[in-house]
Amino acid sequence: MKRSIPMLVLLASASVAATLSAQTSVPPVARVIPRVDTIAGHVLTDNYFWLRNRADSSVIRYLEAENRYTESVMADTKPLQDTLYNEMLGRIKQTDLSVPVKNHGYYYYSRTVEGKQYPIFARKRGSLGAPEEIYLDQNELAGGRKYFSIGVREFSPDQNWLAFTTDTAGSEHYTVWIKNLKTGEILPDRIPEVHFSLSWGADNRTFFYSRTDSSHRSDRIFRHTVGTPADGDVMVFHEPDLLFGVAVDRTKDDKFNVITSGSFTSGETWYVPASTPTAKFRLLEKRRPDVVYSVEHHGNDFFILTNENATNFKLVKAPDNAPARKSWKNVIPERKGFLITGFDVFRNFLVLSERGNAETRVRVRDLRTGAEHYVRFDEPIYTLSQSGTPEFDTDVMRLNYTSFLTPSSVYDYEMSSRKLKLLKKTDVLGGYDPALYTTERTWATATDGTKIPISLVYRKPLVRDGKRPLFLYAYGSYGSSSDPTFSSNLLSLIDRGFVYGIAHIRGGQEMGRAWYDNGKMFKKKNTFTDFVDAAQYLVNAKYTSSDRLVARGGSAGGLLMGVVANLRPDLFKAIVADVPFVDVINTMRDASIPLTTGEWIQWGNPNLPKDFAYMMTYSPYDNVAAKKYPTMLVTTSLNDPRVAYWEPAKWVAKLRAMKTDKNLLLLKTNMGAGHGGSSGRYDALRDQAFRYAFVLKALALTSGAR
């Protein structure tokens, strides 16, 4: 029978806590407290379940002891960490300005100032020559806190009110603040415990926001009126289904507020005229199994992107006074091999974002003539995306372009004339010369014959003799794709001889929607074997060798790292697993843990025998064995709501107890952050310098030479 949490709290008391060595050169040993459980007829013993109890001071002491051990082991790399930090900082223009975005008569932008951790948000009215109005200075708001994050920033339609959210722990529990932009006053009616979405009505006094349940699932939408107490807010929508989460938004033409309730495989949209925000929301089209859709508004129609009878999605439209499915008319049909990932509407144009064949594309349709064209660039491998054009009545679209060789570049694209205008290319200080580097796309063959794309970048020339170190990254979950983008930080590895690669494994959508479908649920193991096959290919093709190969992934990509460490520990010299989701069975069977219930249709529900049997074949924590493992760095954050700190902590404890090698195994816990790590830009750069120093130490390349 399942043991209750209160009993576990008693077991994890200080008297039976971790045995901590006073010598930081010796790794801490976590105390074994067996917890025996039966799942689907199988008996599981978890020796480190007690680490979940963060209220127990011995748990905190254990994490702190691991941090001391990590710092002790890495002490000899401190000069290298400083060198790497200064290199990366030296490439960044610390005092800089974003490209202004025009919206409702204002030009909005952010700027950074040398020495300050956070951006300053500002605007100018009417023209770029107007006086600057700073509406938020995140540095002042942070007030010296170790962690500070701004979630959403939403302006009322008349641009006189700002609703913004803050998180001071990394827990993703936000507070809404309301600022009068005419007077600069922040109102006293703040709203605690909100989620990610917020949307204003057209009356400039009303906005909607989302809240979560006890497991941090966004399940409710509330309506607030400026100047009134939050405890009087009206709940306008509640989603009881544990598989679904809700969000609220406004259509681009400002005519409707919309609530989306969705799971990974189904969803529905509710809408209300923004001019009457107190009216009742109406259902656009009811949810159906395996059908998802999203909407925008144009003229008198809703444009609807859906996968109904279209694996790679199609676009339809329906009149806004009768938008149900029976009124849907095809606008853009599905295209084989290329997924429509999103769309944008303008008065005269429709813009589609697409991906397939490990490429990103932007397609433009003239709504007046039906003529279509693609936006083209010359590089063979690049990433192109819409970067957000809030204005509806314009034929100029904002684009972001980047590649392994080209820093992030912002363009304005005139859709009528098809002219591109470069507004800004991110400066890379210190004499970066793209001619010194090259990029290529190569393909590995998976065990089942599937071709796996791999994107590579390196300094020229490359002699394929197996002597180059290679840093291989992948994610491969939730349909989230990993695209080749520029990172000036990576130059600190590439200039030391590294090849950097991204394995576009199944579970993402780089090759279309089927790429995702074939990397989840009962096909999830394709994600892991794809990565192993990609790594083995790179070794066989002599881009590197197994004693020079480093793998990295984070979150669900950290799950990937945990699985491949068990599958092929001999293939990798070192592994970096950031905030890794590795305790799959325990986490996915506990509905009280954030994100769990909604992801039962992503990973499976281990409370079901069939799901449990499959998940047990790969769950990293449950498959740790007495064998040799690579050198490993595992990172986590104490306040992480997405992958709780105890998953990596338990995993490291079990690895320490069972592995048969003497390779380094380090756990580094940020005691004051969340899933994304440090919130300040300089602190985040220090974290990256530490990570790179670990990689260089693992490969015995710590001389600092470039």
Give a yes or no: residue 348 inside a domain. Answer: yes
- The per-residue pLDDT for range 54-110, each reduced to its tens digit, is 999 999 999 999 999 999 999 999 999 999 999 999 999 999 999 999 999 999 999
640 is catalytic: yes
Candidate list 173, 224, 297, 675, residue with the active-site label: 675
Mean pLDDT value of segment 26-35: 93
Q: Are 541 and 626 contained in the same domain?
A: yes
d(CA 111, CA 99): 9
**In a domain? residue 304:** no
DSSP 8-state class, residue 675: T
Same domain? For 406 and 554 the reply is no
Q: Are residues 404 and 464 in the same domain?
A: no
Task: Using alpha carbons, select from 682, 679, 531 the residue that is nearest to residue 92.
Answer: 682
- Distances 558 to 27, 208, 423, 443 between C-alpha atoms, Å: 22, 35, 37, 23
Q: Is residue 571 part of a domain?
A: yes
- Mark residue 704 as left, alpha or beta (left: phi above 0; alpha: psi -120 to 50; beta: remaining): left
Are 532 and 569 in a shared domain? yes
Percent of the chain whose predicted confidence (pLDDT) is above 90? 94
Whether a cis peptide bond, with omega within 30° of 0, leads into 461 is yes
For residue 377, pLDDT over 70 is answered with: yes
- Based on the domain organization, do 12 and 53 belong to the same domain? yes
Taking only the tens place, the pLDDT of each residue in 274-287 is 999 999 999 999 99
Residue 704: pLDDT over 60:
no
How would you label 38-65 residue by residue, b for 16+ Cβ within 10 Å and e otherwise? ebbeeebebbbbbbbbeebebbeebbeb
Whether the predicted pLDDT of 24 surpasses 70: no
- CATH number of 514's domain: 3.40.50.1820
Question: Is residue 448 in a domain?
Answer: yes
Inter-residue contact 575 to 473 (CB < 8 Å): no
Assign 15 a pLDDT band (cuts: 50, 70, 90): very low
- At residue 229, the pLDDT reads 93
pLDDT class for 324, splitting at 50, 70, 90? very high
The three-state secondary structure class of 461 is coil
Q: What is the mean pLDDT of residues 39-49?
A: 92
618, pLDDT greater than 80: yes
Q: Which of the two residues, 545 and 23, has the higher pLDDT score? A: 545
Which of 399, 428, 457 is a domain's end point?
428
Which of 392, 388, 361 lies closest to 377 in space, CA to CA? 361
- Give 703's pLDDT tier (boundaries 50, 70, 90): confident
pLDDT at residue 189, as a whole number? 84
Pair 503, 577 in one domain:
yes
Token reading at 99 = 């490209």
H/E/C letters for each residue in 126-149? Answer: CCCCCCCEEEEEHHHHHCCCCCCE
**pLDDT above 80 for 693:** yes
Q: Is the pLDDT of residue 12 over 80?
A: no
Residue 412 domain flag: yes
What is d(CA 449, CA 454) in angstroms, rounded to the nearest whole number? 15
The angle subtended at Cα 286 by Cα 281 and Cα 289, nearest 5°, is 145
Q: Is the pLDDT of residue 22 over 70?
A: no
Same domain? For 562 and 669 the reply is yes
Same domain, residue pair 372 and 512: no
Active-site residue among 477, 481, 482, 555? 555
In whole angstroms, how far apart are CA 524 and each of 96, 341, 372, 447, 515?
43, 22, 37, 14, 11
Give the residue numbers spanning the domain of 34: 1-73
Structural domain contains residue 688? no
Decide if 197 is catalytic: no
Region 406-423: what's the mean pLDDT? 98
Would residue 555 show up in a list of annotated catalytic residues for this protein? yes
Mean residue pLDDT of the chain comes to: 94
pLDDT computed for residue 25 by the predictor: 77
Centre a 10 Å sphere on the Cβ of residue 357 and count the other Cβ atoms it contains: 12
Q: What would the mean pLDDT of 314-338 be, rounded to a whole number? A: 96
Q: Which stretch of DSSP H or E encloses residue 561?
A: helix 556-567
DSSP string, 267-312: EEEEEEETT-TTSPPEEEE--BTTB-EEEEEETTEEEEEE-TT-TT
526 is a domain residue: yes
Residue 372, strand partner residues: 365
Q: Give how many domains the chain has, as a whole number.
A: 3
Residue 1 clears pLDDT 70, i.e. is over it? no
> How far, in Å, CA of 575 to CA of 649, rounded?
16
Single out the residue in 43, 58, 73 at which a domain terminates: 73
Q: Do both 673 and 575 map to the same domain?
A: yes
Q: Is the pLDDT of residue 403 over 60?
A: yes
List the structure tokens of 659: 């592995």
Per-residue pLDDT at 706: 60
Are residues 499 and 355 part of one domain?
Answer: no
Say how far apart CA 484 and CA 473 lie, in whole Å. Answer: 11
Domain boundary among 54, 73, 92: 73
Same domain assignment for residues 657 and 557: yes
DSSP structure string for 631-665: EEEEEEETT-SSS-THHHHHHHHHHHHH--S---E
Q: Please tell me the predicted confidence (pLDDT) of residue 705.
A: 58
Q: Are residues 626 and 523 in the same domain?
A: yes
pLDDT digits (tens, 9 = 90+) for 445-480: 999 999 999 999 999 999 999 999 999 999 999 999
d(CA 509, CA 480): 6
Answer whether residue 2 shows pLDDT above 90.
Answer: no
Q: Are strands 549-554 and 574-578 parallel, antiparallel or unpaired?
A: parallel
Cα end-to-end distance, the chain, whole Å: 58
For residue 16, pLDDT over 80 is answered with no
Asked, for residue 555, whether it belongs to a domain, the answer is: yes
Residues 6 or more apart whose CB falls under 8 angstroms from that of 326 comprise none
pLDDT tens readout for residues 619-657: 999 999 999 999 999 999 999 999 999 999 999 999 999
